[in-house]
Amino acid sequence: MSDRTTPSRRSVLAATAAGAAVAALASSPAHASPADRGATRAGLKRLISRMSLEEKVGQLFVMRVYGHSATAPDQADIDANLREIGVRTAAELIERYHVGGIIYFVWAHNTRDPHQIAELSNGIQRAGLAQPTPVPLLISTDQEHGIVARVGRPATLMPGAMALGAGGSRSDARKAARIAGTELAAMGIRQNYAPVADVNVNPANPVIGVRSFGSDPQAVAGLVASQVRGYQGAGIAATSKHFPGHGDTVSDSHHSLPTIHHSREEWEELDAPPFRAAIAAGIRSIMTAHIVVPALDPSGDPATLSRPILTGMLREELGYDGVVVTDALDMAGVRQKYGDDRVPVLALKAGCDQLLNPPNLGVAWNAVLQAVRSGELTEQRIEESILRILLLKYELGLFRNPFVTPGGVDRTVGKPSHLAAADRIAAETTTLLADPAGLLPLSLRGHRDVLVVGADPASPSGTTGPPTGTLAKAFTEAGFTATALSTGITPTAARIEQAVAAAAGKDVVVVGTYNVSSTSPQRTLVSRLVATGVPVVTVAIRNPYDVAQLTGAGVAASLATYSWTDVELRAAVRVMTGGADPRGRLPVPVQRADDPARVLYPVGHGLSYRGTRR
């Protein structure tokens, strides 16, 4: 990349008179003197004063855009951009709306491979610096790991939150975040919407579940703080979500507006500790939740639009003065009570800074403009948010050099030491829930021929294949003879019969289960396989609650991996084949299926081989 298209490490603010003072500051604001920090704020305020109102409003928005390139996306992505945003490319989006950030998605074709991501990031930054007021963009994504990963192989995929909760190691959680953050930064992604700070106290929660570290508020708080330090030590902004806490819902805010019925005292005990810990750890951004919490705000407004929650509690009571970013504004939870033209205005009035992914950017952008022009929002109010956003960009070094290099990608992304660390950390997470007959670990002498069946949910980008195939491959690499047969999340009667027939003559059947319910045909699949007389081992590849639905079915052993990603499935096979001891411990309780008031397996449950091998 030439200096013409990718400037050197000089400050991009040097192009403006207002930026001259900022450009002269030391590159590490965290260690700057109070006088220097004051000068930084003064320089950024002068920069804001030179912006037009349209530019100021644009800085508040973080928007999706289709395409692998900022200037030359595929025609299908151009068509999608024209249909949804009214522009052809990311560069045109920035030129028209002056947006302050871009969010990457797999489905938007932003994340094909690390080098493409890096060049897309550089193209976005070039477009930002070409504006009348040159300001770098803050590029973000949801790289939680586990079941939510926007950047896949060859990047390093780490165990997800609940797996790390099962491992219980704060140092491993910090190491995983440090590695993940380093790789994101190498690709130009400098804000990660992780870690999840929700405490999953409701097994029926359809949207959080294994995205949470667990059900114990103090344990979750410790892991959240560790990940904040890991990500931010790698030079990116971590984002704790979803304030004030999304862990006790029975509906999904993507599709409806959930209500949490915790009292203020319950909120303090259950939901607040991870957010307090994140703030104490120096979290740079916090994401809101599209949930109603009547004890915190009786108005019925979602937290994203609630001034009592965001300004009264988060800013004034908890003392947080970093960036507040909304959860995506195209989600149903924030759109049920107000129209798309009112939501962004109300979010700013509540105390938000960044407005994430509105369904119609033109409507949202013009609504904020009109609110300022009419006096409903003051220019001073939006400048408060812009200053927080620009300070974050400055602290991340984006005003000095927002660009990344191919060499940096090669040296950093998916390097062997990172992959080895992922495997080591994953080895601590697999939980052996039940092994009543002492079947595990499997031996080559007695269990060489393995059939792997079960669910194959849509896998995150970059996995080597569906879970059944990944498990079978790992068994084969361990010296076993393994056959994979996908039966799906809702196996048909014909598919169940096919699995039963395939089990004939096998030494063991491994079934990958996925969120088994009382009516799930996965229960029938497991029962029919048990009836063949072949030992059956179940592996819960998402929520660990599946074992409760299968208790009494005659299963020989049950494990939980908390995700279907390669790194966790490989670790599970090492456990099943004796290559590693099961060390994971449940970070959530598993209630009995026939009596949810009674606990089948408590927090902390997990079996060990105690060093035995076969």
Which residues are designated catalytic? 327
Given CA atoms 483, 463, 440, 515 in this order, what sign does their dihedral have?
Answer: negative
Q: Give dist(CA 154, CA 461) in Å, integer.
A: 10
Would you give the DSSP letter of residue 74? -
Q: Give dist(CA 581, CA 567) in Å, integer.
A: 16
Residue found under tokens 């960044």: 354
Structure tokens at 27: 């590159």
Q: What is the 3-state secondary structure (H, E, C) of 178-194?
A: HHHHHHHHHCCCCEECC
- Exposure string for 272-306, b = 16+ CB within 10 A, e = fewer: bbbbbbbbebebbbbbbbbbbbeebbeeebbbbbb
Of 98, 17, 42, 60, give the one whose Cα is nearest residue 394. Answer: 42
Which residues does 511 contact at the CB level (< 8 Å), separation at least 6?
A: 453, 454, 522, 525, 526, 529, 536, 537, 538, 539
How many other CB atoms are found less than 10 A from the CB of residue 539? Answer: 28
CA 65 to centroid of chain Cα atoms:
19
Q: Which amino acid is at 315?
A: R
Of 577, 579, 580, 576, give the one whose Cα is nearest residue 560. Answer: 576
Question: How large is the C-alpha radius of gyration of the chain?
Answer: 25
Helix orientation angle between 170-186 and 114-129, rounded to the nearest 10 degrees:
60
